[in-house]
Amino acid sequence: MTNLVTTFLLISIIYFSGCATIFSGGSEDVSLESDPPKAKVLLNGSNMGKTPLTLSLKKGKSYLIEFVKEG
């Protein structure tokens, strides 16, 4: 009986953790602002635009975000 309960719990954990990833998605929107505004935003060295800006970033990854403004 305990083996049946343990197996059921293990299957439930695997099933529901997988579904949570599907429902929550693999990315998240991150809003970036600066003072003063219109600073250039570099994501891992690539120009992504100017602030204010919203980027969709993949969850579980590391990013280097830089703000560049002359003056």
What is the domain partition of the chain in residue ranges? 2-68
Q: Output the pLDDT for position 17.
A: 55
The region that residue 3 occupies, defined by phi over 0 for left and psi between -120 and 50 for alpha, beta otherwise, is alpha
Q: Output the pLDDT for position 2.
A: 59
What pLDDT, in 10s, does the model give residues 14-40? Answer: 555 555 554 567 899 999 999 999 999
Q: Hey, which bits of 1-71 come out as E strands?
A: 27-32, 40-43, 46-50, 53-58, 65-68
- CA quadruple 47, 51, 57, 61: dihedral sign: positive
Average pLDDT, rounded, for the chain: 80
Q: How far apart are CA 15 and CA 64, in angstroms?
A: 34
Q: Which residue has the tokens 């703000």?
A: 67
Element (H, E) at 45: none
Q: Output the pLDDT for position 60.
A: 86
Q: Output the pLDDT for position 31.
A: 94
